Structure 1
Amino acid sequence: MSERMILNRIKKLMELEEQMKSLQQQADKLKEEIKADMEVKKQEEIKAGNHVVRFKTIVTNRLDSKALQSSLPDVYKQFVKQTESRRFTVA
C-alpha cells in the first residue's frame, strides 16, 4: 500500500471516528434523559412499546489487586498472570 493510500485511509478513519464520537454523545444524552426520568419516577424498570428499560443498582465484589500486592506481595506474585495484547493508535 502506498503512503498516499495510507494517508487517505487515515483521513477516512479520523472522519468516521469523529462521526462515531458525535453519535455516541447523542446516544449518551438520550440515555441520561431516560435515566433522569426513571429516577424522578423512582422506577428501576419501564416498558415502552416492545422495549423494556432497566436502570438497576448492581453490587459487585472485586479484588483490590493493589491492596493485595502491598499487604501480601508473595501471594500476589503467586497468582498474578501476565497477558499480552497489541494496541493500534493513530496520532
Structure 2
Amino acid sequence: MSSNEMDSKIKELRELRRMADELAGEIESITDSIKTHMDAEGVDTISGTDWKVTYKAVTSSRIDTSALKKALPDVVERFSKTTTARRFCIA
C-alpha cells in the first residue's frame, strides 16, 4: 500500500471512529433517558409491540484476585496464565 493510500485509510478510519463516538454518545443519552423514566415510574420492565426493556439489579459473585494474591500468593502463581496480544493504536 502506498503512503498516499495509507494516509487516506487512516483519515477514513479516524473519521469513522469519530462518527462511532458520536453515535455512542447518542445511544448513551437515549439509554439514560429510558432508565430515568423507568426509575421515575418505579418499574424494572417495560414492553411495547415488538420490544421489551428490563433495567434491574443483577447480583454476581467474583473472586477478589487482589485479596487472593495477598492471602495465597503461591496458589495464584500456580494457576496464573500469561498471554500475549497485539494492540492496534493510532496516534
Structure 1 residue 71, shift from structure 2 partner: 1.8
Inter-partner Cα distance in structure 2 for 1:6 and 1:15: 14
Inter-partner Cα distance in structure 1 for 2:76 and 2:28: 38
Residue 29 of structure 1 is matched in structure 2 by: 29
Inter-partner Cα distance in structure 1 for 2:24 and 2:48: 22
Amino acid at match of 2:48: A
Amino acid at match of 1:48: G
Matched-pair identity in %? 32
Give 3-state SS (helix, strand or coil) of 1:68's partner: helix
Name which of structure 1's ranges 40-49 and 23-32 shifts more when overlaid on structure 2.
40-49
Inter-partner Cα distance in structure 1 for 2:3 and 2:81: 39
Residue 63 of structure 1 is matched in structure 2 by: 63
Amino acid at match of 1:69: K
Residue 51 of structure 2 is matched in structure 1 by: 51
Inter-partner Cα distance in structure 2 for 1:49 and 1:24: 25
Amino acid at match of 1:60: S
Equivalenced residue count is 91
Query: Which stretches of structure 1, 4 residues or longer, exceed 3 Å deviation after superposition?
Result: none
Residue 38 of structure 1 is matched in structure 2 by: 38
